[in-house]
Amino acid sequence: MKRGKYQEAFAEKLQRKVAPEARQLRKQAGDWLKQRRADAGLSQVDLAARLGLKYYTFISQVENGFSRVPTETMAAWATALGLEPAAFAKHLLLYYEPELYRLLFGTEK
C-alpha cells in the first residue's frame, strides 16, 4: 500500500518529535544499565566477555544511549548482571517502548 503525501508528512513530523525523547529515554536506560553493571562489579570489558562480544564498545554505545540492548540478548545481559531476565526486560521496555509498557502494565513504574 502506498502512502499519501499527508501520511508521509505526518510520519516525518512524528519522527522529529519523538526522536529527542527517544534519545533521552535510551540515555536513561543506559545510565540504569551502567549502574547495574557497576553493582555487579563488572567493567565494560568484563560484561562484553560474558556476553561473547569481541569488543566492549557496544556496551559503551548502549550505556551512552546510542544503542539499545537487542531483545534477543536481554536474557543473557540480565544473567551476566545477576538479574532476573523478565524483570530486566520489563524495566528496559519502560525506556525503549514506553507506550507499549503503558499498555501492558499501566502507568505505575
pTM greater than 0.85 (yes/no)? no
Domain 22-105 falls under CATH 3.40.50.720? no
- Residue 78 is classified by DSSP as H
CA angle 72-96-52, nearest 5°? 30
- State the cell numbers at 85: 531476565
Q: Which of 45, 36, 33, 22 is nearest to 95 (CA)?
A: 22
pLDDT tens, N- to C-terminus, the chain (109 residues): 455 666 666 555 545 555 788 889 999 999 999 999 999 999 999 999 999 999 999 999 999 999 999 999 999 999 999 999 999 999 999 999 999 999 999 976 5
Q: Where are the domains of the chain?
A: 22-105
CA distance 37 to 34: 5
